[in-house]
């Protein structure tokens, strides 16, 4: 197997260059080591340690080609600092093509884990100790969940200047101000002083090539701003739409769901956003936007129970304090 087996991640001991590593983290029921794939680009000169994680939810794979393309395209002779990238965090979920672990746990609600507890708690705890604590900034790459679509958007605590700067330079389509929630990887990193954002890249269970290059450019721009790469030469893309908050709307009646607007559409309060039909094709309910906003994501699953998600609506609010100065 390509890649060096390691028991700890000793970044100081690694020589300059690109490293493909298998980091031992837990054992399975046969006593075999379960190993995380880790890519490290170690620069020739000292600098920040930038962490990138992907597939914490096992079927959210759009971040994987972003990591591959970014790391393989870095010139470590010119790089200041180190990039540590985990293409697949939720190894078991990834193999099963599902969000949760094989133990039916959502890893992104278990951080920072526990030294002892369920497998997922220990896994997360060791991930924090072995990798995350070493970082100076973190980008956690996700996608929409199964049965939904997303635009390219970032969840970030826009009241933290470094986090806001990182989010803004990445040039997503939308940024949602969202203080870090307990038990997420982003929240656990922020709690130990690591500026962290969650980048939601499109849709689950697939590679969307149009997003790969854009995100590689965005991450390189952040790395330039942090002094890891020479000053960027490409112009920044369109400024993102900044939302002060966001919320999902839900059905109160089961049936066949049709959502009207597409992602990134602006909707007005009272505008029809979805209709639920009964088994005979008669409209049983229609739903309207609770307020003006921008569509961040929506359901594409026609089968909706009572309480199904309809649409994720952002409250557009370009508050000056949320928008960092251009670099």
Strand-pair partners of 286: 275
In the DSSP assignment, the letter for residue 141 is: E
Which two tokens mark 56?
């914490």
Between 56 and 228, CB nearer to Zn ion: 56
Between 79 and 149, CB nearer to Zn ion: 149
Residues that bind Zn ion (CB under 5 A): 57, 60, 142
How far from each other are the two terminal CA atoms of the chain, in whole angstroms?
Answer: 43
Q: Minimum distance from CB of 60 to Zn ion (Å)?
A: 5
Which two tokens mark 73?
């395209």
What is the C-alpha separation between 87 and 36, in angstroms, rounded? Answer: 9
> Is-contact 299 259, C-beta < 8 A?
yes
Which regions of the chain does DSSP assign to beta strands (E)? 4-6, 17-27, 33-42, 45-54, 80-86, 137-142, 148-150, 152-156, 174-177, 196-201, 241-250, 255-259, 266-267, 272-277, 283-288, 293-299, 303-304, 309-316
Q: Minimum distance from CB of 7 to Zn ion (Å)?
A: 28
Between 142 and 298, CB nearer to Zn ion: 142
Quickly list H helices, the chain. Answer: 63-72, 91-95, 119-130, 161-169, 185-191, 209-225
Residues, the chain: 327
Q: Minimum distance from CB of 101 to Zn ion (Å)?
A: 13
Between 142 and 186, CB nearer to Zn ion: 142
Q: Which residue is nearest to Zn ion (CB)?
A: 142
Between 203 and 251, CB nearer to Zn ion: 203
> Is-contact 68 212, C-beta < 8 A?
no
Q: Minimum distance from CB of 23 to Zn ion (Å)?
A: 21
Q: Minimum distance from CB of 57 to Zn ion (Å)?
A: 4
Which two tokens mark 226?
């942090």
Q: Minimum distance from CB of 310 to Zn ion (Å)?
A: 19
Q: Minimum distance from CB of 141 to Zn ion (Å)?
A: 9
Sheet arrangement for strand 272-277: 283-288, 272-277, 255-259, 303-304
Q: Minimum distance from CB of 270 to Zn ion (Å)?
A: 31
Between 141 and 273, CB nearer to Zn ion: 141
Between 60 and 121, CB nearer to Zn ion: 60
In the DSSP assignment, the letter for residue 14 is: S
Cis peptide before 112 (omega within 30 of 0): yes
Between 150 and 251, CB nearer to Zn ion: 150
């Amino acid at each position: 197997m390509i890649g060096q087996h390691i028991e700890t991640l000793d970044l100081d001991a690694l020589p300059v260059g690109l490293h493909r590593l298998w980091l031992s983290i837990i054992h399975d029921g046969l006593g075999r080591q379960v190993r995380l794939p880790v890519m490290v680009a170690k620069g020739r000169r000292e600098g920040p340690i930038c962490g990138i994680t992907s597939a914490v939810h096992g079927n959210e794979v759009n971040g994987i080609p972003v990591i591959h393309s970014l790391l393989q395209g870095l010139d470590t002779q010119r790089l200041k600092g180190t990039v540590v990238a985990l293409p697949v965090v939720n190894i078991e979920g990834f193999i099963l093509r599902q969000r949760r672990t094989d133990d039916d746990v959502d890893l992104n609600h278990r951080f920072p884990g526990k030294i002892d507890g369920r497998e997922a708690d220990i896994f997360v705890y060791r991930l924090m100790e072995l990798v995350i604590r070493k970082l100076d900034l973190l980008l956690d790459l996700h996608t929409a969940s199964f049965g939904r679509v997303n635009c390219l958007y970032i969840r970030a605590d826009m009241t933290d200047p470094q986090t806001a700067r990182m989010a803004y330079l990445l040039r997503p389509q939308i940024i949602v101000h969202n203080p870090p929630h307990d038990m997420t990887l982003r929240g656990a990193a922020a709690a130990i002083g690591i500026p962290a954002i969650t980048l939601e890249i499109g849709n689950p269970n697939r590679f969307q090539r149009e997003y790969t290059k854009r995100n590689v450019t965005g991450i390189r721009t952040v790395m330039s701003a942090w002094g890891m790469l020479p000053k960027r030469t490409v112009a920044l893309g369109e400024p993102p739409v900044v939302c002060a908050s966001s919320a999902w709307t839900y059905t109160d009646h089961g049936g066949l769901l049709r959502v009207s607007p597409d992602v990134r559409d602006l909707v007005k309060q009272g505008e029809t956003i979805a209709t639920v039909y009964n088994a005979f094709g008669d409209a049983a309910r229609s739903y309207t936007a609770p307020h003006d906003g921008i569509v961040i994501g929506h359901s594409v699953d026609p089968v909706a129970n009572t309480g199904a998600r309809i649409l994720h609506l952002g409250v557009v609010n370009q508050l000056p304090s949320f928008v960092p100065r251009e670099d």
